[in-house]
Amino acid sequence: MRILVIGRGFVAQSVIRHLTEAGHAVRVLVPAGEAAGIIPTGVSVDAVVASAHDVRGIRAALVGIDAAIFIPGPVVPPADADLLKPIQAARALAEAAADAELPHILHLSTLGAEPGSAYPFAKTAGVAEVTLKRSGVPLTILRTGIPFGKNDNFTTAIARLLSATPILPLPKGGATTLHPIWVEDLAAAMALSVETPPLTGQKTLEIGGAEHLTLREIVETVAAAAGKKRPILNVSFVTARRLTNAALRFRPDLPLSPHWLDYLAADRTAPVDTLPREFGLLPERLGGKVKAWITRS
């Protein structure tokens, strides 16, 4: 297949590797001057220089393409993220794909995506989904749990916070249940999904890894891998938000974001059997992988 990938970050890079290893011809949309952060090292792809918001550029990139994969950004955006950009990119792709009569779009979304959500990150993801649905192009949506892996903004962020503080405040003491998924399992599922357009025109799957884990369990797993066990302080979400805002004023380099607090305000889980049932994949556990990229000190 000939596949266009629109996205960036460690998830997009893993997806591109999986697609090329599977023998697909991969074209990647690359904004000017940003190839190093999008195309993985040692992988041969066809790069098209255009912005993800440029309808004409995307329309040109879609010539001869069988499917497009849209990865709008991290599941939980950073504090300084422009939340309108994923919606604008979805609108541009929807228009270009409809014009090109594209056979299939695969969109990576997030658990909790909902246009009417009170949480900005989830509202943004929900609006992007609706925008793509209105294109009329056959659409597969994968709502995923938090991806983890080398260069992620999840386990590595936790490790950095553990290094920056002698005590770690967690909202509700870290009781929120999450569904982390290894990036290679996620990329494998996406590579399989893009090959099969939905029979009814649109399909939505919620996916995660091998286990549901509380935030506290995740932090303790990363702390053990890093050799940086810290006392955990149980704080309210109001206090956590105040601490986050104060920390970002004094240390804007810290991997903190108010959007993380929104994500942690509710459990974010999918059925644990989705990957085996839908894709024949046996997902990896967090504890079995995290030591590969978390430096012990």
The predicted-structure confidence for 153-175, as pLDDT tens digits, reads as follows 999 999 999 998 899 999 999 99
Cβ atoms within 10 Å of 123's Cβ, excluding its own: 19
pLDDT band at 297 (very low <50, low <70, confident <90, very high): low
Instruction: Write down the residue that tokens 């240390």 correspond to.
Output: 251
Predicted pLDDT of residue 259: 92
Q: What average pLDDT does the segment 117-124 reach?
A: 94
Predicted pLDDT of residue 41: 85
Which tokens in the block code for residue 37?
């952060």
Q: Residue 276 contacts by C-beta under 8 Å, 6 or more apart in sequence?
A: 282, 283
Given a contact cutoff of 8 angstroms between Cβ atoms, the answer to whether 168 and 219 are in contact is yes
Given a contact cutoff of 8 angstroms between Cβ atoms, the answer to whether 86 and 72 are in contact is yes
pTM of the model: 0.94
